[in-house]
Copies of this chain bind each other. A is one copy, B any other.
Amino acid sequence: MIWKAPCPTPNPRSRVSLSFLKVVPMSVASPGLPADLLPADLLSELSALLGERLSLNEAVRDQHGRDESYHAPAPPDAVAFVRSTEEVVAVVRACATRRVPIIPFGAGTSLEGHVAALRGGVCLDLSGMNAILAVRAEDMDATVQAGVTRKQLNNDLRATGLFFPIDPGADATLGGMASTRASGTNAVRYGTMREAVVALTVVTPQGEVIRTGSRARKSAAGYDLTRLYVGSEGTLGIITEVTVRLHGIPEKVMSAVCPFPTVADAVNTVIETIQAGVPIARVEFLNARQMEAVNRYSKLDHAVTPTLFFEFHGSPAHVDEQVEMVKACAEGHGGLDFQWTATPEERDRLWAARHTAYYAALALRPGAKGFSSDVCVPISRLADCLVETQADLDQSPVLTTVVGHVGDGNFHVLFVVDPDNPDEMAEAKRLNSRIVARALAMEGTCTGEHGIGHGKMSSLEDEHGEALAVMRRLKQALDPDDVLNPGKIVRL
């Protein structure tokens, strides 16, 4: 029962091992060593197609069978490093005709076992498809290959005055973000991948290449295929290109941190802000333990108390208006000490601290793994949900932190656990079940942005009931042989 005891000093190795997941050591690819479980003719077909870009190397396969969570790794039998939609078609056709599973892989930063090769098969690594195909500033959209990461896109946009707002903590690929319907700190103002994706290029398990939509801002042209593939986690088709909406960089940006006496005070400030219709760009909650982790990891010295991080976007006058309204909401809840960032560098440092909150929490206990809840509830229920959850956590020996995109009603309890300790895992899962049940009872969802993978399939059933049968019919219709990322979202 000492799981909660944090490590006295942060261990930098935890960061090293995480970044390793994103490295693709091409030199270790070793075609010519057929995996026992794949048909020999499939391997020779893929090898002829990809040459050294087909890897059977154990380290490469291991990397591709795990994500950034506590879920047990499940390596694929081979990894195909593809470079084009045409190569994806060829790999998919070769595998699908032999009913060999295909698991798409971007940056490996998902959190629910999305990339685990539960039934073996070929991992389709799309990270080499990293070309930015078009940036159309005049239409405020861009088309990229699926392996482009959000930071890469934003770097590329620097000269345009535009930016791409969706920002999960990790530097995920846009294909991966579309696949999990990801969001992040800006969603309260700019929406999630559901709103950001304009159109997709998708390879079906039948090897067709389809374009799910046009570049028009709106359309009533038949079934919404774009939204069907967004969030489908590679189980219905392989996303190879993504067209996304961009936004103008605001004239003025202001960021602040404000400590609060209690969890309820912080959350009620957020609720009032949203209900007042303030178009706040970011409003993030961190509980006391998470603030402690962030201080250590990012070498900051904020008060160790429930805290909100704010950001405001707009014209100077409009930002000033928003700030005044939010300060008035905060004041009523003991939020008096707004610390404003003075420079863009200070602001970047603040948000980097927020974006590394997950790694900061893991660094509290070197060697531990992360297990993150992801519930999202209607905003009116958020205070109840978070206060009850915090009370649960306070009574448990498991080491946890809490962060939240609270403007959306979404928060994460991060369990910092040793997956090899069954008692600890059982306790974490018990707490997580209570959190999910509480959110569902409040008309919320079991996952705001992480997706289902194989880690949340029973929660999906609790949430959707009979609708799960409809999801199963969709999977059956589009991937009848269950070759695309099998064992995720629904089982056939």
A interface residue numbers (CB < 8 A to B): 136, 138-141, 180-183, 187, 192, 194-195, 204, 208-225, 227-228, 230-232, 236, 247-248, 275-277, 314-315, 317-318, 321, 374, 376-380, 408-410, 439-440, 443-452, 456, 459-460, 463-471, 473-474, 476-478, 489-490
Contacts and interface: CB of A to CB of B under 8 A. Distances in A.
Number of copies: 2
A140 B276 CA distance: 10
Contact of A231 (B209, B222, B232, B277): B222
B139 A469 contact: no
Contacts of A445: 213-214, 216, 218-221
Instruction: Determine which residue in A140, A220, A380 has the highest number of CB atoms from chain B within 10 A of its CB, and name it.
Output: A220
Given A208-B466, A318-B318, A443-B214, A448 B220 contact: yes
A136 B379 CA distance: 11
A225 B478 contact: no
Given A217-B408, A228-B223, A211 B315 contact: no
Contact of A219 (B221, B376, B465): B376
A215 B443 contact: yes
Nearest to A467: B210
Contacts of A231: 220, 222-224
Contacts of A223: 228, 231-232, 236, 471, 474, 489
B448 A219 contact: yes
A194 B225 CA distance: 12
Contact of A449 (B139, B220, B469, B474): B220
A213 B439 CA distance: 13
Contacts of A478: 470, 473-474, 477
Nearest to A187: B218
Contacts of A210: 464-467, 469-470
Nearest to A277: B248
Nearest to A440: B214
Contacts of A187: 218
Contacts of A473: 477-478
A450 B377 CA distance: 33
Nearest to A210: B467
A275 B248 CA distance: 9
A410 B220 CA distance: 11
A435 to B, nearest CB: 14
Given A219-B376, A228-B223, A214 B463 contact: yes
Contacts of A195: 195
B446 A182 contact: no
